[in-house]
Amino acid sequence: MQADQPPDQPPDLPGEEHRDRPGDQRRIDLTALREDYRLAGLDEADLEADPLDMFDRWLRQAMAAGIHEPNAMVVATVAADRRPSSRSVLLKKVTDRGFCFYTNHESRKGRELAGDPRCALLFPWYELQRQVRVEGVAARLPHADAEAYFASRPRESQLGAWASAQSRVVASRGELQQAYDEATARFRGEAVPCPPYWGGYVVEPDALEFWQGRHGRMHDRLAYRRVPSGWVIERLAP
């Protein structure tokens, strides 16, 4: 054992030679992890006039590239005490109004959207060295829309919607399983209806940014901003 290595100190991992303070001693040094972005560029001439048309194009390209769950997006909301939170959900539809997803209205995000409908979305398509940011306001979709989508879900997911009081504290995994078993028994032999507390949101955007990684960290950032006459496009410094 080295004289300057205390008995309870694990050996350094590769890349951990540089440490700033004792509290960092067990952390992995990530400073050397980087990638040179060279796949593509994004010019103003490449853009669609409507940002939702531009998003459709990039989403189709992400799907064609075989990206895992290209419709996965991070939804950021804010609580009444101004504490932000974020989580990944699946985009299920894009309409002329905006971006649609479904969830439990009584979950944390549902409660926070009820208090402040302003939110942000992020689509991180790392393999294409791209991301799309969306800022807007969420509104509930009609319950008929939620019922139609709910009917298309796998039965196991339908039962899970009844069994899970999403975002609430539970005592154990066993408690969750018991609730799932009870839902299974309740709806045995019949269609599982959409719970009254489960539904959809559409995020109506007022700003979108299309980000394309470039060499030397001189990334392309082209942003759409809604104005009374439509959309204006601005280039942002990387």
What is the signed CA dihedral for 233, 98, 219, 236, rounded to 10 degrees? 40
Active site residues: 217
DSSP the chain: --TTS-TTPPPPPTT-----SGGGTTSPP-TT------S----GGG--SSHHHHHHHHHHHHHHTT-SSTTEEEEEEE-TTS-EEEEEEE--EE-SS-EEEEEETTSHHHHHHHH--EEEEEEEEGGGTEEEEEEEEEEEPPHHHHHHHHHHS-HHHHHHHHH--TTS--S-HHHHHHHHHHHHHHTTTSPPPPPTTEEEEEEEEEEEEEEE--GGG--EEEEEEEETTEEEEEEE--
